[in-house]
Structure 1
Amino acid sequence: MEFRGSSVYDQSDFFTNYMKRRNREDSPNNAIEGPIMSELVGNIQNKTILDLGCGDASFGKKLLQLGASHYTGVEGSEQMVEAARSNLLEIDATIFNETMESYDYPRESYDLVISRFAIHYVSDINRLFQNVYQTLKEDGRFVFSIQHPLTTSSFASKEAGDKRGSWIVDDYFLDGERKEPWINKVVVKYHRTIEQYFTALRQAGFTIQDLREGTPKREHFSSEDEFVRRQRIPVVLAFACRK
């Protein structure tokens, strides 16, 4: 059985194992992607924020503590929504149990739209980017991260085990579905080239201000071996854009 979008997070065994992996000190989320997203988001004082694929809303809680005026999370998984609402008790935040595709994007409502490691599960990024553009206020910003296209390109299944020692980069210019074994399940992701993301953003009307490929920094790793391993291939691609 294969899982699309956020549906896999409603499998109890997967959810438990994912949260353990996600919260590892040297996970790519914490050691690479998190610091980049925090830097690209910048000053969020008094900003209204929309988070697409918000997960347990840990990042939203941090942003509110740093001065955001309101946080709205969109999450398709019921288990993740429950975790997010629990994380944000007595905080000025709203969580919608919707997917990025089904959410009703209100016009010119947010100063900042963010998404972390979720857009590679969306089949139609052109429609998504258009929705994000119209829901942003004038001069609003869109900051998001995805799994780097070099790691989604190959149709070959990744080798078993938590720590990959080699990578296959193949079929890069063949975009579309990729079925990947992950934590004892099969999830569907969508591979696109960096150029395709860039073009879709430009066509939606965005100005691309920054692009990062997740260069590892030693100070974010507790393990020297893991730092060295993460220098071999990029696992993160992040964009910062303005309306």
Structure 2
Amino acid sequence: MVKDGSRYYDNNEFFINYMEKRLSKDNPNDTIEKPIFLEMIGICSKHHVLDLGCGNGDFGKDLLRSGCKSYTGIEGSENMYLSTLKHLNEFNNLKFTHSTIENWQPPKEQYDLVVSRLVLHYIENIDDVFEKVYQSLKKGGRFIFSIEHPVITSTLQKSGQRTNWIVDHYFSPGFREQQWLGTTVYKYHRTIEDYFTSLQKAGFSIKLLRESKPKRENFEHPETYNRRLRIPLFLFLSSTKE
């Protein structure tokens, strides 16, 4: 059973389906997740940024254009990693490393900001990841991440548009199975409290929590916006190394 989240994207059919899905209008990543994430980052000029699970590197280009000093992306999927290489010639301060987050070895106090977008719900040992992030940050550095909201991961449902929402076995952590884009995917469920406690255990001070309330101006279709008001799709946490 494959539980390494990056490996799903090395299934060529899954990878193609995923990239097509990201291009669809009113997709939740671009209408909800990305706008909130950028709000939480705010001004990052002169920051050295690390992105855990950087995907195809497009977010790195966005941050560099907004003024960050350097961007390093860690990506475990070979398909995703290869798609980043086309960006290498555009910026001198953009670097990608092909490694899973679990195998990534952090430098000490090198980054001002560590980000991770919709990746950490694939990882079982989150304590280890948070400890490595803490080690890699400078004092005063920030760690901001988004995940699928625990009300979603508690009971994953089959792919397709949902018409009802089920929360069950919420306080039982562990991998959950989902049929998504023609592949069986495993995501690790933990509660909001679990994430909060793990951050504190690593030494972080939690500064902000968001639950993905949508904004009408980000949607083309009103029916999609109204449906997104029913339940939080994503959870965001921002913390600091004091």
Fold conserved (TM > 0.5)? yes
Percent identity, aligned pairs only, is 47
Corresponding position: 1:139 with 2:137: no
SS in 1 for 2:158: coil
TM-score, normalising length: structure 1: 0.96
Measured in 2, the distance between the counterparts of 1:164 and 1:177 equals 21
Measure how far apart 1:143 and its partner are: 0.5
Match of 1:203 in 2: 201
Alignment coverage as a number of residue pairs: 240
Corresponding position: 1:98 with 2:99: yes
Asked if structure 1 preserves the Cα contact closer than 8 Å seen for 2:158 and 2:180, the reply is: no
- Matching residue's letter, 2:107: P
Measured in 2, the distance between the counterparts of 1:179 and 1:102 equals 23
Measured in 1, the distance between the counterparts of 2:145 and 2:210 equals 10
Aligned 1:25-64 pairs, distance under 5 A = 25-64=25-64
Match of 2:164 in 1: 166
Corresponding position: 1:148 with 2:149: yes
Asked if structure 2 preserves the Cα contact closer than 8 Å seen for 1:3 and 1:186, the reply is: no
Measure how far apart 1:23 and its partner are: 2.5
Measured in 2, the distance between the counterparts of 1:160 and 1:209 equals 34
Gaps of 5+ in 1: none
SS in 2 for 1:112: strand
Measure how far apart 1:2 and its partner are: 4.7
Asked if structure 1 preserves the Cα contact closer than 8 Å seen for 2:3 and 2:187, the reply is: no
Aligned 1:1-243 pairs, distance under 5 A = 2=2, 4-91=4-91, 92-154=93-155, 158-161=157-160, 163-243=161-241
Gaps of 5+ in 2: none
Measure how far apart 1:160 and its partner are: 4.1
Asked if structure 2 preserves the Cα contact closer than 8 Å seen for 1:2 and 1:186, the reply is: no
Q: Deviations over 1:138-197 (max 9, x none)?
A: 10000000000000002xx51342x21112110000001111111010111100000000
TM-score, normalising length: structure 2: 0.96
Q: Deviations over 1:73-92 (max 9, x none)?
A: 00000110011121343312
The root-mean-square deviation of aligned C-alpha atoms, in Å, is 1.2
SS in 1 for 2:166: coil
Q: Deviations over 1:90-131 (max 9, x none)?
A: 312110100111111000000000000000011111111010
